[in-house]
Amino acid sequence: MRILALDTSSERLLLSLGDGGSDEPVAAVVSTEKNHGPGLLSHVERLFAGQDPTRVNAIACGRGPGSFTGIRIGLSFAKTFAYVRRIPLCTFDLFDLYFTLAGASGPVWVLEDARRGELYVSGRIDGSNMREPGVTTLEGVLETAPAGVRFLGSGARLHRARLLECFGEASVADAERLPDATTLHRAALHLYFDAGPCNPVTAEPLYLRASDAEVNLASGKIRSSWSRVVPGHHREE
């Protein structure tokens, strides 16, 4: 089995191509370009250089949380690829990448910067979920995280000083670690063999809160295009 995996939800675009019998990908692309989602196709071309894309018989894609645009671009590509090729599609959370990176020892909380002073958060202990994915603040983390926890993710890097002060050096020892293409490949294999494929038509992003555009529209900071009156024209409701 050959599996193509991608994640476009976070600060780095990750692509891997690998076989089911190996923990290491045969090809990989990692991009730190800003707004990397729109350049996904060119990165896929790089990934397949010297490889046969027709050998791919499964695809795994990150569904967030993270960049709304990045998630939509990545998942749209994966769903289309799976549907056209008639191959299985698996989806995974950004948290799954960090849990794979962290290994199985002790409690781990993933904190991803959600901006607006908020954090996307999920946690597990010894392979089991102990905190469902959600949105919180740094103060919420400080009040509820268990003793002995390790923090990973962009939010852990952003708030490293406070976490160090409250939970000690060991809690932030892995804060600078980032998932790479090998982490992506291993997480994709785990999801494929353990969780199984999903329906590519109905696969949905993991949005834990409304987008900035939705918030601004609801607050009246921006107006819907339908609310604009074009001189000489009238739109019936």
pLDDT digits (tens, 9 = 90+) for 169-188: 999 999 999 999 999 999 99
Class of domain 2-94+179-209: alpha beta
Q: Across the chain, what does the average pLDDT equal? A: 88
Q: Is the confidence at residue 226, as pLDDT, over 60?
A: no
Whole-model pTM above 0.85?
A: yes
Region at 223 (left for phi over 0; alpha for psi -120 to 50; beta for the rest): beta
pLDDT-based confidence at residue 32 (cuts at 50, 70, 90): confident
Tens of pLDDT, residues 67-80: 888 999 999 999 99
pLDDT-based confidence at residue 228 (cuts at 50, 70, 90): very low
* Percent of the chain scoring above 70 in pLDDT: 86
Question: H/E/C letters for each residue in 77-111?
Answer: HHHHHHHHHCCCEEEECHHHHHHHHHCCCCEEEEE
Burial class (CB in 10 A: 0-12, 13-18, 19+), 118: middle
- In the chain, DSSP assigns E strands to 2-7, 13-19, 27-31, 58-62, 89-92, 107-115, 118-125, 128-136, 150-152
Select from 3.40.50.300, 3.30.420.200, 3.30.1390.10, 3.40.50.670 the CATH code of 95-172. Answer: 3.30.420.200
Q: Is the confidence at residue 137, as pLDDT, over 90?
A: yes
Is beta strand 13-19 parallel, antiparallel or unpaired with respect to 2-7?
A: antiparallel
Q: Is the confidence at residue 164, as pLDDT, over 90?
A: yes
Task: Give domain limits for the chain.
Answer: 2-94+179-209, 95-172
**Fold agreement between 2-94+179-209 and 95-172:** yes
pLDDT-based confidence at residue 27 (cuts at 50, 70, 90): very high
What local confidence, expressed as pLDDT, does residue 215 receive? 60
